[in-house]
Structures are given as C-alpha cells and as structure tokens.
Copies of this chain bind each other. A is one copy, B any other.
Amino acid sequence: MYDLNIEFRSGSEKCLYEQIYEYIRREIREGKLRPGERLPSTRSLAEYLQVSRSTASLAYDQLLSEGYIASRPYRGYYVCRMEELYRLDARGDAAGAEEQGGQGPAEEKIPAVVDFSPTATDMSRFPFSVWRKINKNVLSQGGGSLFTQGDVQGEYSLRETIGRYLHSSRGVNCTPQQIIVGAGNDYLLLLLEKILGRHVRIAMENPTYKRAYQIFDSFAYEITTVDMDEAGMSVSGLRQSDVTAAYVMPSHQYPTGALMPIGRRLELLKWANEAPGRYLIEDDYDSEFRYRGKPIPSLQASDTQGRVIYIGTFSKSIAPAIRVSYMVLPMELLERYRRQCFFYSATVSRIDQKILEEFIKEGYFERHLNKMRKHYKEKHDLLLEGLTDFEEDFRITGENAGLHLLLTGRRGQKERELILAAQSLGVRVYGLSDSLVGKAAEQPGHTVLLGYGGLECQDIDKGLALLRQAWL
C-alpha cells in the first residue's frame, strides 16, 4: 500500500478531509503517486490516519469528482492516467466563467475568499420544508399513474399552470398546447434545432450568453454576431446580417444587463414580420429579479404574428437542481413540432412535474419569488452602496435587475489586470470577455462582472474591502 504521510496541521483553517484531499492531489500532480497506482481503501486510510471513514470518503469523493482518481467496481481506487488529468484541466479552463483567472500552477492557486460569481444563486432561503411536504403529499396521493410516462410535451395541468403564471407575470399569450416542458434550456434548444431545421442563420448580440452561443455553434448554425447599444441588438446590424433568426434577452441582457425598450422591441418584431420564416428566440432567463421600476413584460407579449419563441426556466427562479424549463412555440412551429418531433419522449418525470405544479398552484412559488427578490435586493443595495467609492474610477452599469452588475474602468485599467489584482487578495471577479465571441474576445476591454446572488452580506462587505485595496 502506498504510504500516505499526511501531517495534519491542527491550527489549519482547513478541515481534515481537505488536508487529505490536497495532500493526495499534490502527490499525484508531482508524480509521486503514479498513474494506475492503487490507493488504500477508505477503510484502511481511515484507520491509518486515525480519522473517521466518512472523512476519508469525502477526500476521495473530491478527488473522484475532479478526476484525479478513478474507482473500478470491486477493485478500489486508482490514480488516473496523466493525459486524462490534463484533459480534465483543459476542460475546466474551457468551461470559462467557472475557472476564470489563476492561470499559474494550480497548486499555488489561492482559493477565493470571496467569489463574485455572476451565475451563483442563494439557496439558503429555499423553502425546503414546504418542498418536502409537497413531495410527500404528491407521492402519497399520486398513486401508480404518477409513475407512468405521461405527455411528451409535459403534463397538461402543469402547462396550464405555467401558462397562467407566464400570462400574469410576463404578459405571455399562449394556450397550454403551445408550451413544451423539458429538462433544461439546453434540451429545449436541442429540440428547437429539430423544429427549425438545420442550417439556420442566427444573429446573437456580442457579448452574449456564452452557453447559448456554444450550443448554437454545436448545431452548425451559422452564427452572426451583431453589435449592440444600450437598447440591445442593433436592428440595422440585424438587417445587414441576412439571418433568419435572432437570439435575444430583452428583459435583461446577459451579461450587460441591458433592458430592451419597447421601441427596439417593435423594430425587432417588424424585422421578423417582414419575411416568412423569421423568428426571434427570447431567452427570459432571470426576469423575475428586477429592483427598479415595474416588471417588464416579455417580448412575446408584444408579438401579434407568432414570431417569438419564448424560453424560460425554473432552474434560476426555484433551484438549479430543478431541471425544468419551458418553451412557448408560435402556432406555425407547434405544427412542425407535432409533425417532426412527436416521437421525442418527455424528459421530466411526472412526479417532479406534479411537485412543481403544486408548488406554483399553492402560491409558494410567488411567495418564494417575492422573498428572493427582496433578499437579492438587499444584497444588491449593499453592494451598490459599497461601490460609491469606486465611482470615480469605474462606471457601474446593469444595476437594475438580475444578480450581477458591471464595473468598467474609467482610467484604462485592463480586465485581466483587474481580475489578477483582485485574485491576489483572494477575490474572484469575472471578465466581460468571457461572454464575448469571435474576434471581439481577443480584445478584452476594461469591464468586470460582480455577481452577488450567492454571497452573504458579510461576504459582500469583505469582498468590497478587499477590492478597494486591490483597485483603488
């Protein structure tokens, strides 16, 4: 058995499992533990180190999930081959936002003390006990039919409930027949590819939501990036681009936070109405969180000709684990869906659909949204207030909605420098260039994103203090 001489530092801030994990990771990276080498079982590791077995398991789980080690059925844990290791590293970097910054050797990377991730959400206020109760009720009352496969578009009653919610909160006009429920936006986009067909020429703003870009790119859609101003996608740019579809986030553009005013919306709709087969894909991903002014109806609400494909998700508004999104199809595309895609089975279990339906119907969803809006606003206000000192050096934008805002250096500070300076003090901020595509991505500017959704108030304060030190 490989001899693991881990010296536990009792004064360390790190708990035992982290120390074990880091020790083994270092041994692997430095080649002392070699590819294919077998690790002790969790039981014998625990005995040897005099720690609990669950501590040893936690360390291995972490190594497993990061791909340093692998387990083989009934044979224990092995060190992964090195190419595999590097591939995993490459993958981590490619994943973009998650791994931004810290290009030095990973061993030396300082773990972030405060992570202003623009994609993190806050689960601490989630009504777990309500969710459990509904879960229990649904399972005990549902009976056997709950376990059958159900409607390919999603349960009718859930679609009705979603339709009602979308109508009242987002002004969306549709019948439940037009709604397709699916396991996440990515799946719905895969389905949309089959509906719209291949070789679609699609326009996207730049910067845009990178994941959607990557997905459209994997479709071999011809993607044209169109410039944007404060109002969103430039319509003259769109007209020049000879596309048949445009992907937009009119209620809260990611990452700029821009809200598309009604004038621009109508121009976009006019473009879509001018030729048959033109569509606008509206990704309404986090429109629930708006802090200033009235809620903004969706673009779909202004669409009288069936030109808007509306997509939204509960992953952001309820919890990331809730893999339920919805797509509202115009009638023309609904027909195509029924002709061309009727054989794609449902991707969300009826049980989960029923739980979600009850959560919405019983008013818990609305209550949760109101609570979270208030809670996020507190963090938002705290961050914005704390940023007053920064205003001389930075322009602050995107502050009216969503879970992040943008800081643009007024004195020519470079994105990369800002990120590294923050990182040196243990603060992680994110570059706008993560969301740029094409040539624009090669010329990063002066803007960083600060997300606050996942941070507690004291962390925001701490992060602000460190950023002041780093940047001002």
Does B214 lie within 8 Å of A175, measured CB to CB? no
Check: A341 CB closer than 8 A to any chain B CB: yes
Residue in B146, B183, B335 whose CB lies within 8 Å of A183? B183
Number of interface residues of A (CB under 8 A): 77
- Give CA–CA (A214, B116) in the complex, Å: 45
- Give CA–CA (A322, B350) in the complex, Å: 8
Does A183 lie within 8 Å of B347, measured CB to CB? yes
Residues of chain B contacted by A352 (CB below 8 angstroms): 349, 352
Residue in B71, B176, B187 whose CB lies within 8 Å of A176? B71
Check: A416 CB closer than 8 A to any chain B CB: no
Contact with B along A213-250 (1 / 0, CB 8 A): 01100101000000000000000000000000000000
Given contacts A343-B214, A343-B215, whether A126 and B144 have CB atoms under 8 Å apart is yes
Does B187 lie within 8 Å of A183, measured CB to CB? yes
- Give CA–CA (A460, B123) in the complex, Å: 51
Residues of chain B contacted by A147 (CB below 8 angstroms): 123, 126, 319-322
The smallest C-beta distance from A300 to any residue of chain B, in angstroms, reads 14
Does B123 lie within 8 Å of A132, measured CB to CB? no
Residues of chain B contacted by A163 (CB below 8 angstroms): 73
Which A148-180 residues have C-beta < 8 A from chain B? Answer: 148-151, 156-157, 160, 163-164, 167-168, 175-177
Residues of chain B contacted by A14 (CB below 8 angstroms): none
Residues of chain B contacted by A175 (CB below 8 angstroms): 70-72
Which A175-231 residues have C-beta < 8 A from chain B? Answer: 175-177, 183-184, 186-187, 190, 194, 198, 210-211, 214-215, 218, 220
Check: A348 CB closer than 8 A to any chain B CB: yes
Which A309-324 residues have C-beta < 8 A from chain B? Answer: 315, 319-323
- Give CA–CA (A164, B61) in the complex, Å: 16
Residues of chain B contacted by A348 (CB below 8 angstroms): 183, 323
Check: A340 CB closer than 8 A to any chain B CB: yes
Does A335 lie within 8 Å of B87, measured CB to CB? yes
Contact with B along A318-358 (1 / 0, CB 8 A): 01111100000000000100111111111111111000000
- Give CA–CA (A123, B350) in the complex, Å: 14
- Give CA–CA (A105, B139) in the complex, Å: 39
Residues of chain B contacted by A339 (CB below 8 angstroms): 91, 94
A and B contact pairs by CB, cutoff 8 A, 20 listed = A61-B157, A67-B177, A70-B175, A72-B175, A73-B160, A91-B342, A124-B144, A126-B147, A135-B139, A147-B320, A147-B321, A183-B187, A184-B347, A186-B343, A187-B187, A211-B343, A214-B343, A321-B350, A322-B349, A323-B346
Given A71-B176, A94-B339, 5 more contacts at CB 8 Å?
A73-B160, A73-B168, A91-B338, A183-B183, A190-B190
